[in-house]
Structure 1
Amino acid sequence: MTSYENSNFEPLVVLHFSPTTPDETKNWVIKRLTARQDEDDGADLLVRYDTDPESHNNILLIGATLNRLLLGAEELRIKKPYKNDTLREFLISDIDNFDHSGSPDSFLLKSEKQLVIWDEIQNVRPMQHEHTIPGVPTKSVTPTSDTILGLLRNLDFVISVFPLHDKEDMKLIERDWFMATYSSFKPQDIHKVRNYFGENVAYYFAFLEFYTKALIPTAILGFFVSIWPGWDFFKYSLFCIFNVIWWSIFMEKWKRLSSKLAYQWGSFDLKIYERPRPFYYGDLQRSPITNQAERVYPRWKRLLKKYLVTYPVVMCCLALSLWIYFAYYRIQIKTDHNYPLDGSLFSIHTKLMRTMPSAGYSLLIIPMNLIYKKIATYLTDFENHRLQTGYENNLTSKLFVFYVMNCFIGLFYEAFFNVNYGNVVQLLISLVIINAIFLKFTEQIGPYVLKRVKKNQLLDGKSQSSQVSDAVKQAKTLTPFEGTYGDYLTIFEQYGYVALFSA
């Protein structure tokens, strides 16, 4: 049952083609997705077009047979509860000894089914004899290194690939999170989040909840310190000591909680069995261990790219960030000189003018961070890391170095070299407030308004009796999810402000 005309399957993943994609290319993609693994090295998935007229034959619904999903779960070494109350890597031959094996259709979580399909979509490649893309004869391909999804993205033929949401499951999560009575004061059932969204998103929300609770003692003590009419040196020294102890405890407690969750979810030793990244390329060589053909990329080439390209580009970005800070610093000194605080009637105007340089610098930091994130991602892709953990570690190190320089160097310089605590407070307030306003608009207000506008456009002219399919509605209204990196960087930035400079 691999024909794309067949509709007797559960749609799990949506592939949204751009309107410019030739029909020959679409048919080629469908053929590779539905081709059998043992014969044509295909993905062996179930594919059909969405039947809604609004899709314009640009939206593919992708699913898989139960046997294909179970085989994929075994290949990915997904861990499932065993009947002796432990977690074990799933094996089809041992399925009877796993919990819930009596109901095969619900044996795998929906997020696990979608993970299997997503992994296959990412790894499917052209056939060995194919050297051009059907519909685009001028585009040459290399079957040993190019992936179907990578080729489509390079040609701007794919708008998005995403897991199809289940409205009923989403409503249950929404009700538990923020619609139920006292939901704001209840701990999140993080396991429900994991079962629906997967481990990466669940880890983020677990950390966010843990971090938010850790801010409460800091906020309470900070409030009393600010109104306590005592000696400044004593009370701020006390607050600094508290910060050092409290945030050290926070880090150790989080390590224990994350290890506990990793054990419960079966991801504690995941990196030991990690598969190569879909976009990893190299020459095919037979492995002496597995006796299978594997892609190999020389380590010296990766090091050459790092030393000749990555490190010089990163150093130039850091130098530019430092130059921009000292340009701001000179403007701030000049502004303070032109608008001294003398207690006159124009003190409000004076304070406003003295704040303008720090506000402008805070605004400039935001696009600098966004641009550097794109540069860091491009450089990490260019280095061609084999495993996802290596890719993420290298990307994280680049982002960490730049964010420390861009967000904290000015505060460090003012606090420990100039010892100008007035400027530290002024710059810190500007950074925190402007960043909070920017995030409010870009992560909440903006996406909500954009979604409402797109939804109204989609439903405009539709009669009440006609229904828009879930796939079309989600493809045309949902904001693309770019992973949790940006969210973690936001917390890292706020954590630095709170833990290092709140006193």
Structure 2
Amino acid sequence: MATLHNKFGAIIQDGISEGQRFALSSDLWRYASTSTHCDLLITMQFSNNDVENKTSVMWLVQQMREHEPNLRIEVRYHRLNSCYAIYLTADYKSLLKGAELCHIKKAIKSKFGGGMRDFSFEEAQFFAGVEGKNTFLSPMERTIIVKQMVDMMRAGKGGLTLKLPRRTISFTEGTAIVPRLISMNVVQNVSALHNTEFLKHLQQKWVFSIEEQPIEQVKDYFGTEIAMYFAWLGHMTTALWFPSLLGILMWFLGGFKYKNNPGDKQDLYQLISDICFVLFAFFNCIWSTIYLEWWKRVQAELAFKWGTYDATQDSYLQDPRPAFQGDYLAPNPVSGRMEPFYPAWKHTVVRYVITYPITCLCVVGMFLAMLAIFTVQDLADFYFGDSFFFHWICYLPMIFYALMIVISDKIYRRLALILNDLENYRTDDEYEDFLITKIVLFQFVTAFGSLFYIAFVLRDMKRLQEVIRGFEVTDRVEMFECISVPGLQKLVRFSPMIISGKIFFLNGKIS
């Protein structure tokens, strides 16, 4: 009994120590000293076996030196969180060659016509500022290039093997090394070090200021994708002033008097209220149309200014995703370069045999759960609707429904990622397009299925108000974006479709 008690106490103590270590390490990165010569940081997963830690980090460093000999590599041991970190830096020549492969847009010198175009290493002298080794490429662009180098390191002919004390990790021919190590919990994270001074400057000029957003500085630091999103957010906030002011005016004219002056003039105030609602709905139709056209002009101007207006490419000209796995290596039909090949018929089989049935099952299951909760709501209204002490029970089904939507959304997002990875798409565009299709389909049913059913089938306005109120309790106003996995290039053209507080970015294309 004493031995069991000691073991149980040791387990609890180990759990407390592990929790303290993770709590400490999760906050340390904000205060970590940065290196001005680091373009990318790779942190290794913590392990109690020090031999395994050293073996994995040295094996990865050796692979990097073989695949990218021009990378400057520095290995450090972080004592506070007990893990190894690899600091990567590329020389200027390698960065310029990588900028061409990553299709990074740079400005042309005015004497050669100006404008923005994809960087070309052979024509580097035509680009403005190419002489400045420290200024031509922004830290964000340097990180993108180095991460592309790391992600595209693949196992050669015959594959690779990483032998650790407790397991062996195999890499088939053409498998991306770093993404495979991430999936096997050998590599913890691949990230960039922040510039704390510039972040403080952005905080003062952007977060703590009421002036116009510094979109250009946001673009230079975070990239065009994030800058375009915040440009839309600021534009949307400005445009919402018009329906907001009109809505307040309509409420005072049509709603306030009707609620506070019942009696002989009730019919007149009811008529005024109905007219206000109709006019407000008509205004929203016109406003939403004007807003969409207005935003298209603004986003086109920003995309043209940033050189990402016409950035569509043939899929065969794009590099395969780092996580893309092929059955064997085959020449690219356009470039002729050897790369992983995955038969198209396998995509079809996975979609129609696995993905589509599971997606339909989730959607139908969510709809049936919605009908079951409505049945419970009817029973609660019947038994407790007139009760003084238990009337609050009538609100529980809708609150439970709202919570169920939030939980099911999170579960389905993970499931959608698993299914998308199983489908094994070659390019990032294909991967994101099909992922968005899965998520939007489920989100549409969970967000609007109940509203359409109550409004147009049951025609119960009181219940419709209760459902919307339940959504408000759980903060159901969300934004869905076609933004990216880390390492992708930037979102350039998209059209927002606004439906009842939910924003979908459609037609998003990655350059």
Matched, 1:279 2:323: yes
Q: 2:222 aligns with which of 188, 197, 206?
A: 197
Deviation at residue 129 of structure 1 after TM alignment: 4.1
Matched, 1:72 2:75: no
Asked if structure 1 preserves the Cα contact closer than 8 Å seen for 2:77 and 2:84, the reply is no
Deviates more, 1:379-388 or 1:89-98: 89-98
Q: What is the number of equivalent residue pairs in this alignment?
A: 432
1:399 aligns with: 439
Q: Given the alignment, which residue of 18, 29, 34 partners 2:45?
A: 18
- 2:405 pairs with one of 356, 365, 369: 365
| 2: CA distance, partners of 1:350 / 1:248 | 46
Letter in 1 for 2:409: N
Which of 117, 137, 141 lines up with 2:146 in the alignment? 117
Letter in 1 for 2:53: P
Aligned partners of 1:484, 1:10: CA distance in 2, in Å? 19
Query: Could you tell me how far 1:311 is from its partner in structure 2?
Result: 0.5
Distance 1:9 1:434, change over 3 A: closer
Question: How far does the alpha carbon of each residue in 1:279-319 deviate from its partner, in whole angstroms, 9 at most, with x for none?
Answer: 12223222353232133322222111111111000000001
Judge which range, 189-198 or 258-267, deviates more.
258-267
**Contact (CA 8 Å) 2:380, 2:394: kept in 1 or not?**
yes
Aligned-residue CA RMSD in angstroms?
2.9
Amino acid at match of 2:500: Y
Amino acid paired to 1:318? V
Distance 1:495 1:351, change over 3 A: farther
Shift of 1:400: 0.7
Structure 1 residues 50-449: aligned runs within 5 Å: 50=76, 52-54=78-80, 56-84=82-110, 85-135=114-164, 138-144=168-174, 146-179=175-208, 183-184=209-210, 186-229=211-254, 230=269, 231=271, 232-272=273-313, 273-282=317-326, 283-340=328-385, 346=388, 352-435=392-475
Per-residue deviation at 1:170? 0.6
SS, match of residue 334 in structure 2: coil
User: Is the 8 Å Cα contact of residues 148 and 487 (structure 2) preserved in structure 1?
Assistant: no
Consecutive unaligned residues in structure 1, runs of 5 or more: 1-6, 36-40, 440-480
Q: Could you say what secondary structure the match of 1:377 adopts?
A: helix
Could you say which structure has the larger radius of gyration?
2
Q: Deviation of residue 80 (structure 1)?
A: 0.4
Structure 2 counterpart of 1:81, one-letter code: A
Instruction: State TM-score, norm by structure 1.
Output: 0.79
For 1:497, give the aligned amino acid.
Answer: S
Q: Tell me, yes or no, if the aligned pair for 2:41 and 2:87 is still in contact at 8 Å.
A: yes
Distance 1:216 1:287 in 2: 52
**Separation in 2, partners of 1:387, 1:27:** 31
Conservation of the 8 A alpha-carbon contact between 2:40 and 2:88: yes
Q: What SS does structure 2 have at the residue aligned with 1:430?
A: helix
Q: What is the one-letter code of the residue matched to 1:96?
A: Q
Superimposed CA distance per residue, residues 11-51 of structure 1 (whole angstroms, 9 cap, x where no aligned partner):
1221111122532221111122233xxxxx44742221236
Distance 1:401 1:57 in 2: 41
For residue 106 of structure 1, give the secondary structure of its aligned residue in structure 2: coil
Secondary structure of 2:169's partner? Answer: strand
Cα distance in 2 for residues equivalent to 1:351 and 1:494 = 39
Q: Report deviation, 1:397.
A: 0.8
Secondary structure of the residue aligned to 1:139 is: strand
Where structure 2 has 5 or more consecutive residues not aligned to the other structure, the ranges are 1-33, 255-268, 479-483, 504-511
Deviation per residue, 1:404-449 (Å, 9 max, x gap): 0011111111111111111111211220231269x9xxxxxxxxxx
Q: 1:204·1:484 contact (CA, 8 Å) conserved in 2?
A: no
Counterpart-to-counterpart distance in 2, 1:327 and 1:482: 37
Question: Could you say what secondary structure the match of 2:499 adopts?
Answer: helix
Equivalent residue number for residue 21 of structure 2: none
Change (3 A) 1:271 1:133: farther
CA distance in 2, matches of 1:436, 1:320: 20
- Quote the offset at 1:255 in angstroms: 2.6
Runs (4 or more) in structure 1 with deviation over 4 Å come to 481-485, 492-495
**Cα 1:251/1:8, change in 2 over 3 Å:** closer
More helix by share: 1
Report % sequence identity: 25
Instruction: Return 246-255 or 112-121, whichever deviates more.
Output: 246-255
Q: Distance in 2 between matches of 1:44 and 1:408?
A: 53
TM-score, length-scaled by structure 2: 0.78
Could you tell me whether the CA contact under 8 Å between 1:47 and 1:62 is conserved in 2?
yes
Cα distance between partner residues in 1 of 2:372 and 2:496: 22
